[in-house]
Chain A
C-alpha cells in the first residue's frame, strides 16, 4: 500500500515538472491562435529560447540573465512570424514550419561555434540554474509556479479584460474589429508577442531549470504536444491546462512503465503512451470525442479593404 502511495506521489510530482513547459507553451499558443494567428512554430521558439537561456547562463553564470535571453530569443522569432504573417500576410503554417527548421539548425550551428561541444552548452551549476525555491512545502522552482499562475492569468486576460474581448473578436471576425476602428495588426502583434513571452519561459525552464544545460533538439516535440493541448482544450485556458497535465501524466507514467508488465495487459509499449497525445488530438479533431472548433479567422491573413 505504502509502495503504491509513494508511486502515486512521485508520479504526480513528476507530472507537474513535465507539464510545466507544456503549460507555458500552450498558454502562449492560446493567445496567438485566439487572435487568428496559427502557430506551429511553438517548438522552434521554445528550442531557440532553451538554447539561448543555457548559452547566456553558461557565459554569465546568471540564471536570470538566461531567462531574459530566452524571452528575447523567443520574441525575435515571434516578431519574424508576425512580420511574415501579419504585415506581409504570408502563410502562417509555412512561416511556423520555417521557424522550426531554422531553430533546429541554428541552435546546433551556434552551439558548436560557441562551445565546440557538438551543439551542447557546457553543464550549468550553481547560480546558472534556477533552483527549487526554499520556502516550506515548495519543492519546485519559480517557473513551475509561474506556469501554474499563467493559467488563471491567461483566463482573466482573455475573458475579463477589454484586450481579451478584442483579441477574441479579432480571431473570430477581424472585419468587425477593424470597422470599430481598432487596429487588427497591432492586436495580433500583441498576441504574437505574448506567445513569445510564454514560449521563452518554457524554453528557459527546459534548459536551465529542468535540465542543467542545452542539448540538441531537447524540445523533442513538446511544442507540438503543447499545440495539441491547445486544440484539446478547445482553445480555452483551463481545459488546455488540464490537457497539459494529462499529457504530462502520460509522460511521467511512460517513464515508469518502461519494462513493467501490467497484470492482464502485459507490457505496454512506451511508444504507444508517447504517441497518445497525438492520437487523442487526431480523434478529437475528427469529432469522435467531442468537437474542437478553432477561432474562425485562424490562418486567414487580414486584408484591409480599400
Chain B
C-alpha cells in the first residue's frame, strides 16, 4: 500500500488522471441515482438538456459558472502559496456586504459609471480584508489557516445575520434584506445587451474572465507570482531565496479573498440589486472542487466552472422534472468530486500505471 509513487507520463498526469477521478465521482452519483429509483441515463439526459438545451438554460449555466470561477480562483491562488483557504464562503459573504454598503451609501449621489467600479472595488476590498485577518494570524501568530478560515465563515454568517436583521433591513420590511439599490446601480444583464433569452447572466461574467487572465498573468508572468508559487512549492528554498513569507502569505490570501468577494458582485450588483441573506451559499466550498478539478490553473478553472455551472443549472431542471430528485443532488456531486479528485486523487494511479505499462 505504501509503495512509492512511480510517475505517470505527463499527459496522463494532467489529463487522464483527473478525468478518471471525475468519472469515478459520476459513476458513484449514478449508483446513488439508481438507488433512489431513477434511471441514471435519463437523469443525465435531463441534466444536459436542462443545462445546455436552450439559450435561457445556457444563460443560467454561465451565470452560475461566474460564481464558481471566482471561488475556484480564490482557492487556487491560496493553494499556489501552499495555503488552504476554506474561508471562501465567508469572504464571498463579506465581499458582498462591502459591495452593497458602497452602493447603499452612494447610489443617490454618484452616476453609474463611477459607482459600479467603486462597488466592485469595495467587494474586493472587503473580501480581502476578511481573508487578511486569518492570513495575519497565520503569518505573525502561527494560527492554523484552515481552522481560522473555518471559524471566520461562521463569524461572517453571524455578523451578516446581525447586520441584516438589526441594521441594514429596509424600513417596514419583514424579510431581512436591504432597500433596493437605485436603478442605475446594477451591472447590465447580458439579455438586455444582446437580446437573448432572459437569465440572470450579467456582465460579471466578463469580470470573471478578466480575473482568470489576470490571475494567470500574475502567477506565471510576474516576480511576485513567482515568489508566491515558490513559497508554495518549497518553503525552505523560498526563505533562502529571500522571499518574505509573511508578506507573501498576506498577498496570497488577500488576492484570494478579493476573488471570493466578487461573488457578491455577480449576485448583488448583477442580480438581486439589494443585500440579501445567504446569496453566497455553497459557492465558497464548491470553489475547492473547482480548483481541484481545474488543477489550480485558470484555464482549467474556466472549464471546471463551466461544468459546475452546468451541473447547478441542469440539477435545478432535473429536480423540477423528476419528483424524487432534489437540487441537493448537485451538492452530492460536488462532495463526490472533491472526494475523488482531492482526497482520493491518487486512487486510480496504480491502475493507470498498470494499464499504460501493458500498452507500452
Judging by beta carbons under 8 Å apart, are B338 and A112 in contact? no
Q: How far is the CA of A88 from the CA of B323 in the complex (A)?
A: 38
Chain B 279-294 residues near chain A, CB threshold 8 A: 285, 288, 292
Scoring A residues 92 to 119 as 1 if CB is less than 8 Å from chain B, else 0, what string do you get?
1111011111111110111011101001
Query: In the complex, which of the residues A105, A278, A294 contacts B331, with contact meaning CB atoms closer than 8 Å?
Result: A105
A257 within 8 A of B: no
Given the complex, which residues of A lie within 8 Å of B137, measured CB to CB?
Answer: 282, 285-286
B148 within 8 A of A: yes
B31 within 8 A of A: no
Q: How far is the CA of A104 from the CA of B338 in the complex (A)?
A: 14
Scoring A residues 66 to 100 as 1 if CB is less than 8 Å from chain B, else 0, what string do you get?
00000000000000100111011111111101111
Q: With A101-B338, A279-B155 known to touch, is A84 a contact of B328 (CB < 8 Å)?
A: no
Given the complex, which residues of A lie within 8 Å of B161, measured CB to CB?
Answer: 271
Residue of A at shortest CB range from B86?
A: A97
Judging by beta carbons under 8 Å apart, are A287 and B142 in contact? yes
Given the complex, which residues of B lie within 8 Å of A141, measured CB to CB?
Answer: none
Judging by beta carbons under 8 Å apart, are B332 and A90 in contact? no
Q: With A93-B86, A94-B342, A304-B2 known to touch, is A285 a contact of B147 (CB < 8 Å)?
A: yes
Number of cross-chain contacts by CB at 8 Å: 156
Given the complex, which residues of A lie within 8 Å of B37, measured CB to CB?
Answer: 113
Residue of B at shortest CB range from A285?
A: B143
Given the complex, which residues of A lie within 8 Å of B339, measured CB to CB?
Answer: 80, 84, 95, 98-99, 102
Residue of A at shortest CB range from B328?
A: A108
Q: With A91-B342, A231-B147, A286-B137 known to touch, is A269 a contact of B166 (CB < 8 Å)?
A: yes
Nearest CB on A from B216, distance (A): 23
Judging by beta carbons under 8 Å apart, are B2 and A84 in contact? no
Q: How far is the CA of A274 from the CA of B152 in the complex (A)?
A: 13
Nearest CB on A from B287, distance (A): 11
Chain B 159-179 residues near chain A, CB threshold 8 A: 159, 161-162, 166
A127 within 8 A of B: no
Which of A109, A281, A294 lies at the interface centre, i.e. has the most chain B CB atoms within 10 A of its CB? A109
A306 within 8 A of B: yes
A40 within 8 A of B: yes
Q: With A224-B150, A271-B162 known to touch, is A105 a contact of B328 (CB < 8 Å)?
A: yes
Judging by beta carbons under 8 Å apart, are B332 and A109 in contact? yes
A260 within 8 A of B: no
Residue of B at shortest CB range from A38?
A: B146
B144 within 8 A of A: yes
Given the complex, which residues of B lie within 8 Å of A282, measured CB to CB?
Answer: 137, 143, 148, 151-152, 155
Query: In the complex, which of the residues B324, B343, B347 contacts A94, with contact meaning CB atoms closer than 8 Å?
Result: B343
Residue of A at shortest CB range from B165?
A: A271
Given the complex, which residues of B lie within 8 Å of A89, measured CB to CB?
Answer: 2, 346
Scoring B residues 117 to 161 as 1 if CB is less than 8 Å from chain A, else 0, what string do you get?
000000000000000000001000111101110111011001101
Nearest CB on A from B145, distance (A): 10
Chain B contact-residue range equals: 35 or more
Given the complex, which residues of A lie within 8 Å of B86, measured CB to CB?
Answer: 40, 93, 97
A180 within 8 A of B: no
A152 within 8 A of B: no
Q: How far is the CA of A108 from the CA of B324 in the complex (A)?
A: 11
Judging by beta carbons under 8 Å apart, are A94 and B292 in contact? yes
Judging by beta carbons under 8 Å apart, are B344 and A88 in contact? yes
B209 within 8 A of A: no
Given the complex, which residues of A lie within 8 Å of B194, measured CB to CB?
Answer: none
Nearest CB on A from B91, distance (A): 15
Given the complex, which residues of A lie within 8 Å of B343, measured CB to CB?
Answer: 84-85, 88, 90-92, 94-95, 98
Q: How far is the CA of A114 from the CA of B274 in the complex (A)?
A: 38
B218 within 8 A of A: no
Judging by beta carbons under 8 Å apart, are B141 and A286 in contact? yes
Which of B3, B142, B155 lies at the interface centre, i.e. has the most chain A CB atoms within 10 A of its CB? B155
Nearest CB on A from B349, distance (A): 9
Judging by beta carbons under 8 Å apart, are B338 and A228 in contact? no
B335 within 8 A of A: yes
Judging by beta carbons under 8 Å apart, are A271 and B326 in contact? no
Which of B143, B334, B339, B346 lies at the interface centre, i.e. has the most chain A CB atoms within 10 A of its CB? B339
Residue of A at shortest CB range from B1?
A: A87
Given the complex, which residues of B lie within 8 Å of A231, measured CB to CB?
Answer: 147
Q: How far is the CA of A246 from the CA of B247 in the complex (A)?
A: 37
Given the complex, which residues of B lie within 8 Å of A224, measured CB to CB?
Answer: 150-151, 154
Q: How far is the CA of A297 from the CA of B333 in the complex (A)?
A: 31
Given the complex, which residues of A lie within 8 Å of B1, measured CB to CB?
Answer: 87, 185
Residue of B at shortest CB range from A286?
A: B141
Judging by beta carbons under 8 Å apart, are A105 and B342 in contact? no
Judging by beta carbons under 8 Å apart, are B324 and A275 in contact? no
B329 within 8 A of A: yes
Q: With A105-B329, A119-B326 known to touch, is A303 a contact of B36 (CB < 8 Å)?
A: no
Residue of B at shortest CB range from A93?
A: B146
Given the complex, which residues of B lie within 8 Å of A227, measured CB to CB?
Answer: 147, 150
Q: How far is the CA of A110 from the CA of B84 in the complex (A)?
A: 31
Chain A 189-209 residues near chain B, CB threshold 8 A: none
B325 within 8 A of A: yes
Nearest CB on A from B303, distance (A): 20
For the A-B complex with A90-B346, A99-B339, A112-B325 known, give 14 more contacts whose Cβ atoms are closer than 8 Å.
A40-B150, A91-B342, A98-B343, A100-B285, A101-B331, A106-B332, A109-B325, A109-B326, A231-B147, A278-B151, A278-B155, A279-B151, A281-B147, A285-B137
- 6 CB < 8 A contacts A-B: A84-B343, A104-B335, A105-B335, A228-B151, A269-B166, A271-B158
Query: Which 10 residue pairs spanning A and B have beta carbons closest together?
Result: A105-B331, A102-B335, A95-B343, A101-B335, A90-B343, A105-B332, A113-B36, A275-B158, A94-B342, A98-B338
